[in-house]
Amino acid sequence: MSKLVRLTQDSQAEYHSAHMWLLRKLRALALYSVPEYRREALYLQAALLVACFAWPLYKPIVPGVAIGFLGVVAAIMAVRTERFTKIEIGIWILICFGLFFVEIKSVYKERDDHDAEQAALRKEELEARQKQERSLQTSSRQAATCLELRRKCPS
């Protein structure tokens, strides 16, 4: 067996063992018992926390979307309020604040983008007006020169 084939098989075996180790750790984490905490709430909150903080890294946030998610979280909180533990309440509040900050960030980003776009448009308009003024000044000089020549040569 050649050295390259053996190296490829070894690296595949290492990859497989690392993959299996990661899966075992993720399974152990998913099944870890948290005192005074229900598993369904844990999974839902974990998914929402990941969505709150990872989503803006991959997709641009459109203003209003995070507020929509905040409404969904508020509805979940309203429906399940009797069954919450203190830890769950704290996590839900963190999720609400996370969505609030994502929304604020998206509003400010959109405003900054709009301001930059408007500044570029103002700059283009100013350059066009300056070009038009130079053109008008050149035309008026030419017209004045033509009038001067007609006055000098009245034929």
**Euclidean distance between CA atoms 140 and 132, whole angstroms:** 12
Identify whether 9 is part of a domain: no
More confident residue, 56 or 105: 105
Identify whether 12 is part of a domain: no
pLDDT one-digit tens code per residue, 32-64: 776 766 777 777 888 877 877 777 777 777 788
Tell me which residue range forms the domain holding 107: 35-142
Among 101, 60, 93, 62, residue whose Cα is nearest residue 76: 93
Residue 10 clears pLDDT 70, i.e. is over it: no
Identify whether 27 is part of a domain: no
Identify whether 69 is part of a domain: yes
pLDDT one-digit tens code per residue, 139-149: 888 888 888 87
Per-residue confidence (pLDDT) for residue 119, from 0 to 100: 93
Identify whether 150 is part of a domain: no
Q: How many domains does the chain have?
A: 1
CB distance 61 to 55 below 8 Å? yes
Distances from the Cα of 109 to the Cαs of 53, 81, 114, in angstroms? 16, 34, 9
Identify whether 17 is part of a domain: no
Identify whether 14 is part of a domain: no
Residue 107 clears pLDDT 80, i.e. is over it: yes
Identify whether 40 is part of a domain: yes
* Predicted structure pTM score: 0.57
